[in-house]
Amino acid sequence: MKNPVEKIFELNKPFVYFHTHVIDQPVLDWALAAGKSLEVDMSMDKNGQIFIGHPLSFYEFKKLPPPANLPFDQVIRQIKDSGLYLVLDCKDARALPRAQAIIQDLGSERCLMHAWADALLFKPYPKEIEIEPHWKFEDLPLAEILKTKAAIGVPLVISTRGLTLARLEDEGDAILDKIIKTASGKIDAVSLHLPAGEVAPMSVMQKLLDNGIMTLFNLDQVPASARPSVFIGSTDFIEQASDPKDFR
């Protein structure tokens, strides 16, 4: 059985997964009942314990309490038992070995891995982008991410940092050349991670597609008219998520 991400081009339709920052029991039950997908953020505390969420410095910076998420192992166990498609967002390089073991256990055909990568940090950052302390944990070495991908054959999405719509308009060719050189043949999709409310031009997403690289974006923030023919999407509304069975 192929991974849905590997069937996107063949079927000429996007794959959209369920995204949430809160995984308490009601949310997990909801996702399990829908039988589609679930993104799980994977961070590590100072004691080496893995938990669901951003690095703790994210919540300190935002002056927010950490979400009351379920224990990481409990969620992964229920995902495995249910057959749910897992999107594993690894936010700490120390967690990569565990991420690899989880994907091997579930099977790479039912997983997608996402991470931020040092090779696609577009520095110096524009003045409108505030540097946040948790980025030092989230920005993983691309070489280590690719080792994990090579070992288990899981589809991979990498996020960029430091891009804005204005920057794409001013430096688009150089930015795209760097992304294509970095991602081609190694990375399935790239999230341009623009500020809230900004949508990448269709020409940018199409050039990436022409080089075999899809874009990842939040479906809820990009109108249908601004989407390419194929892409990987996330959504906060589970009814908008794809059914992996439709990609067999």
CA atoms in the 13 A half-sphere facing the CB of 185: 1
Can you give the residue range of the structural domain that contains 179?
4-247
Mean pLDDT of 116-128: 95
Concatenated DSSP letters of 155-185 = -EEEEEES--HHHHHHHHHHHHHHHHHHHTT
Q: Is 88 exposed, middle or buried (0-12, 13-18, 19+ CB in 10 A)?
A: buried
* 72 and 51 Cβ atoms separated by less than 8 Å: yes
At residue 120, the 3 state secondary structure works out as strand
> What's the pLDDT tens digit per position in 167-221?
999 999 999 999 999 999 999 999 999 998 899 999 999 999 999 999 999 999 9
Residue 136's SS3 state is helix
Task: Tally the domains of the chain.
Answer: 1
- pLDDT in the model for residue 53: 96
Which domain CATH number covers 8?
3.20.20.190
Whether the predicted pLDDT of 67 surpasses 90: no
Give yes or no for a contact between 38 and 244, defined as CB atoms under 8 angstroms apart: no
Residue 162: count other Cβ atoms within 10 Å of its Cβ: 16
Q: What is the mean pLDDT of residues 38-49?
A: 95
Residue 155 pLDDT exceeds 90: yes
**Measured CA distances, 212 to 89, 103, 168, 173 (Å):** 22, 24, 20, 17
Q: Each residue of 1-27: pLDDT tens digit?
A: 899 999 999 999 999 999 999 999 999
Q: Is there a contact between 37 and 241 (Cβ–Cβ < 8 Å)? A: yes
pLDDT in tens, 77-106: 999 999 999 999 999 999 999 999 999 999
Distance CA 17, CA 242 (A): 6
Helix (H) / strand (E) containing 17: strand 15-18
- In angstroms, the CA 115 to CA 156 distance is 8
Amino acid 197: pLDDT: 87
- pLDDT given at position 115: 98
Q: What is the mean pLDDT of residues 143-154?
A: 96
pLDDT given for residue 152 in this prediction: 96
Using DSSP, state whether 189 is helix, strand or coil: strand
Parallel, antiparallel, or unpaired: how do β-strands 50-52 and 37-44 relate? antiparallel
* Mean pLDDT taken over the chain: 96
